[in-house]
Amino acid sequence: MADTLLEEALDGWQFARDGDFTRQSFPDFMREYGGALDDVADKAALISLLRESFEDGEARLREAGELRMLQQIVQFNGQPATRLSWMSHGVAHEEYHRAQVALYARLIGLVPALTKMIQASIPPA
């Protein structure tokens, strides 16, 4: 799950100047923008990289500003979209994988971490 989150988070290609995501394959974009993931050897390093990528992504988003996020890009499928809609797609994609992990956890009798957090925040009746 963390690997998938990092792939989404390391996708600085969403802010690429040209905005043409048909210029190379997705794996090539990941090699160009997500190389740091190859150097991760353990859980602590993975968590650290996830935090760093979040901070970097937040900074890039603030720097891009509203007008840049509304600019047109060309998606991998050749269809036009805005950077903002493409970012929303990335969020939805991450949620999809999070739901998969939660389902797998429930199927083996575990309570997903988010559910535990929500349950812990509800005062006893």
Give tens-digit pLDDT for 42-100.
888 888 888 888 888 888 888 888 998 899 999 888 999 998 998 888 889 889 988 99
Give the chain's domain count.
Answer: 1
102/98 Cα distance (integer angstroms):
6
Those residues with Cβ within 8 angstroms of residue 114's Cβ, 6 or more apart along the chain or in another chain: 98, 102
Residue 9 CB coordination number (10 Å): 22
Helices (H), 70-82: none
What is the pLDDT confidence band of residue 3, given thresholds at 50, 70 and 90? low
Residue 15 CB coordination number (10 Å): 17
68/77 Cα distance (integer angstroms):
21
Print the domain residue range for 82. 2-121
